[in-house]
Amino acid sequence: MVETTKQSKSPAQLFALVFGVVYALTGIVGFVAFGFGHSLTLPHETLIVFGVNPLHNAIHLVVGLVWIAVSGSFIWTKRTNLLFGVVFLALVALGLANLLGFLGISGPTDPDNALHFATAALAIYFGTVGAKTKNTNKANQTHVARV
């Protein structure tokens, strides 16, 4: 008989993986829909209700890929979630102050601010108290396989 251990992802890792996929796909869809443009910051296009441009799409893609890359490690996921949460919170402050026009975010009423605030709140949560260690009941179940 061979013992195997089934590993499951923590809530922090699942958050990073899901949001990583969403952000990466958003960046890719932005590039597919609007191209790369003649300038990184122009033109400003609208994807659903969100302002985007090539630089904004590239940032979404990089953030998504980083989240996906770290989602295999609990400690790196936790650190990245907290870091990205703080960065997204700073983006909300800058967006509300109308300082992110170069990213296609056009002031305090821009929907990106609400999305970035939700992302920040969830990322900070999953980078701190919501991270939790892997569920010992499910993550460390030992399965016995007959060989």
- Residue 142: helix, strand or coil by DSSP? strand
Amino acid identity of residue 86, one-letter, is V
pLDDT at 92: 97
The domain in which residue 23 lies consists of 2-145
Structure tokens at 79: 């650190």
Contact 56, 82 (CB under 8 A): no
pLDDT at 146: 46
Contacts of 28 (CB under 8 A, 6+ apart): 57, 61
Q: How many domains does the chain have?
A: 1
pLDDT at 34: 82
Structure tokens at 144: 């016995």
Cα–Cα distance for residue pair 21/28, rounded to 1 Å: 10
User: For 93-136, how does the pLDDT look when each residue is reduced to its tens digit (9 = 90+)?
Assistant: 999 999 998 888 888 999 999 999 999 999 999 999 988 865 53
Contact 101, 139 (CB under 8 A): no
Contacts of 119 (CB under 8 A, 6+ apart): 19, 84, 85, 88
pLDDT at 69: 98
Sites in the chain below the pLDDT cut of 50: 3-4, 136-147
